[in-house]
Amino acid sequence: QSALTQPRSVSGSPGQSVTISCTGTGSDVGAYTYVSWYQQYPGKAPKLIIYSVNKWPSGVPARFSGSKSGNTASLTISGLQAEDEADYYCCSYAGAYSLVFGGGTKLTVL
Residues in the site for other proteins, rule: CB under 8 A?
1, 3, 32, 34, 36, 38, 40, 45-48, 51-52, 55, 57, 89, 91, 93, 96-104
Question: Measured between alpha carbons, how far is 73 from 21 in angstroms, rounded to an integer?
Answer: 6
CB of 86 to other proteins, least distance (A): 13
In whole angstroms, how large is the CA radius of gyration of the chain?
13
Tell me whether residue 62 or residue 96 sits nearer to other proteins (CB atom).
Answer: 96
Within 13 Å of residue 102, how many CA atoms lie on the same side as its CB? Answer: 31
CB of 104 to other proteins, least distance (A): 4
CB of 71 to other proteins, least distance (A): 17
Within 13 Å of residue 69, how many CA atoms lie on the same side as its CB? Answer: 3
CA 29 to chain centre: 12
Tell me whether residue 42 or residue 82 sits nearer to other proteins (CB atom).
Answer: 42
CA-based nearest residue to 35, from 102, 87, 91: 91
Tell me whether residue 14 or residue 95 sits nearer to other proteins (CB atom).
Answer: 95
